Structure 1
Amino acid sequence: MTNPNEIIPGVLFYSYFSTSRKEKVGFLSNNTLVLQVSGHFTLETAAQTISMSSGEMLLIGKNQLGQITKTPLPGEYYETIVISLREDLLRKIALEEHLAVQEKYVGPPNILIPSNEFLKAYFQSVIPYVRNPEESITNDIGLLKVKEAVKLLLHAMPRLSSVLFDFSEPHKIDLEKFMVSHFHYNIPVKEFAELTGRSLAGFKRDFQKTFGMAPRQWLQERRLTEAKNLIDNKNKKPSAIYLDLGFESLSHFSNSFKKKFGKAPTEKSISG
């Protein structure tokens, strides 16, 4: 089975495999509900690390970057159902149900959802759809399941309305603090701009004022400096760190490292 398998493109996904996997999350523009069928799931962001096991649910807030580790337990496959709570659908639900955010949400961006009988029943009702994609459920049925998920989330935790139905644009956040915490994510500069609440032009302008150089140049310099620190002081191998620092290939990392420091990253006593 291809992983993840799209049951409804852009809305409902099914992840299924048997080996441990670690992967970066790009720009999650939508709130996302993760249902853990089997195995262990861990999400790490700059501000939060949160884990869950079989039978648990996690609401991941929109506009975040993070790293996910997916680990099957001995003798089991890893299975996850991912539901993207698209803003267009949430707007429709808010209109139909006459819902409005009364106050800004100020809690953690990623929330474990406490289980109840309704959510347990919902969990079980979704599994047959995603395990039998060849029988192809219609978009209408799939979207009804998404709508049902939203209503059950609000039943379990009414305060989630301020998370799900906040349609305001991201405010301008501290550019320096954000980039220092997230430089290792391999995403386009445009997405960094969106995550900091800026247009691309505004991001580049503010970036130049803050760091004295263009975003791409700074990202390259910052990643290579961190790589040198990990190799020199933490005895890390290049093959173990290049992906975590935002490089797409080991050869690209090695060439960039040698160009900056004059020696390959595998050579000892690197001077910079």
Structure 2
Amino acid sequence: METLKVLDYSNVFIASYFTDDRQCSHSNREHTLIYLCSGELEIEEKGKKTILHKGDCAFMRRDNQMLLQKRVKTGKPYRSVVLKFSRKFLREFYQNLDKSALPEYAKRDKKSLCLLPNGRPDIKSLFESILPYFDSDIKPSEDLLKLKMIEGVYILLNTSKDLYASLFDFTDPWKIDLLEYMNNNYMFDLSLEEMANYTGRSLATFKRDFKKLSDLPPQKWLIKRRLETAHELITTGRKKVTEVCFDVGFKNLSHFSKIYKEMYGISPVNSI
């Protein structure tokens, strides 16, 4: 009789147990560490096939599409445990790192799949310590989940110095994604120097890197981004014009009204 069991705790730990073969298309939204307890897993990405056996562990970079073939092997069911690292968690982890200890020449690996060395006791210890929670169906606490995630990150960082750059999503060593940061913080009163610092860059490097991403200079990009959000909020009637002006980062209502009209051909008040 076929048995299928998938347990997902906070979209961080996921355990799969199958007694028949299964195939699925998998899109990694987050960086993922997968460990095979039994059975066999074939991962096909960009035409290349990698097979994981019992005790194997692999790191899958986020934002990559893969085809997974999960197989029962020599009478043993397919069983795997997955550990996911959210962007929020990795940012918090990075903020607490000793920056003076960071490797100087870490390079972001473009490969979407990295097979970790076999037989490492730290890998086996981490995943075997997780299994009892799935076997008993007792959900681990959020504090315990976080401890296991931290343990998983250190496994990766101890595997290769280049994984520092891959894990923390730096386009270059120790630089976080510019557009993601600015899209999350455009409404705050931050100078370009502060934005450069928060994204791990000098001001000159910040401007140079931003030029690769947009035809607009950073200040004009910020104004355009604020106006686009303001236009959406005003036209949908969710907030008053005065509230919108300050919420999106403008300090002066008359200045906001002027540049809004220049962009949309109508004043904010008349857009309601």
**Rg (Cα) greater in structure:** 2
One-letter amino acid of the structure 2 residue matched with residue 121 of structure 1: S
SS at structure 2 position matched to 1:75: coil
* Correspondence for 2:167: 164
SS at structure 1 position matched to 2:79: strand
* Correspondence for 1:9: 10
Q: Does 1:31 align with 2:31?
A: yes
One-letter amino acid of the structure 1 residue matched with residue 128 of structure 2: Q
One-letter amino acid of the structure 1 residue matched with residue 7 of structure 2: N
Q: Distance in 1 between matches of 2:41 and 2:89?
A: 26
* Correspondence for 2:154: 151
Q: Distance in 2 between matches of 1:147 and 1:47?
A: 32
TM-score by length of 1: 0.57
SS at structure 2 position matched to 1:4: strand
Instruction: Identify which of 118, 123, 137 aligns with 2:122.
Output: 118
Q: Does 1:74 align with 2:78?
A: no
* Correspondence for 2:44: 44
Alignment of 1:47-58 (within 5 A): 47-58=47-58
One-letter amino acid of the structure 2 residue matched with residue 48 of structure 1: K
Q: Distance in 2 between matches of 1:108 and 1:80?
A: 22
Q: Distance in 1 between matches of 2:135 and 2:146?
A: 17
Q: Distance in 2 between matches of 1:42 and 1:78?
A: 12
Measured at CA, do residues 170 and 79 of structure 1 come closer, stay the same or move farther in structure 2, by a change above 3 Å? farther
One-letter amino acid of the structure 2 residue matched with residue 119 of structure 1: I
Alignment of 1:203-242 (within 5 A): none
Q: Distance in 2 between matches of 1:142 and 1:2?
A: 24
Q: Does 1:109 align with 2:109?
A: no
Measured at CA, do residues 96 and 170 of structure 1 come closer, stay the same or move farther in structure 2, by a change above 3 Å? closer
SS at structure 2 position matched to 1:16: strand
Q: Distance in 1 between matches of 2:53 and 2:97?
A: 32
Q: Distance in 2 between matches of 1:155 and 1:46?
A: 27
Identity of aligned pairs, percent? 22
> Per-residue deviation at 1:169?
4.5
Deviations 1:94-134 (A, max 9, x none): 1111356854413422000113222222232122122222x
One-letter amino acid of the structure 2 residue matched with residue 18 of structure 1: T
Measured at CA, do residues 170 and 37 of structure 1 come closer, stay the same or move farther in structure 2, by a change above 3 Å? farther
Q: Distance in 1 between matches of 2:82 and 2:21?
A: 18
One-letter amino acid of the structure 2 residue matched with residue 144 of structure 1: L
Aligned length: 170
One-letter amino acid of the structure 1 residue matched with residue 150 of structure 2: K
* Correspondence for 2:251: none
- RMSD value, Cα: 2.5
Q: Does 1:83 align with 2:86?
A: no
Structure 2: 5+ residue stretches without partners: 171-175, 180-212, 215-272
* Correspondence for 1:22: 23
Instruction: List structure 1 runs of 4+ shifted beyond 4 angstroms.
Output: 99-103, 167-171
Q: Distance in 2 between matches of 1:87 and 1:101?
A: 21
Deviations 1:148-185 (A, max 9, x none): 111122123232111101255599xxxxxxxxxxxxxx
* Correspondence for 2:134: 130
Which segment is superposed worse, 152-161 or 95-104? 95-104
Q: Distance in 1 between matches of 2:157 and 2:109?
A: 17
Q: Distance in 2 between matches of 1:150 and 1:85?
A: 8
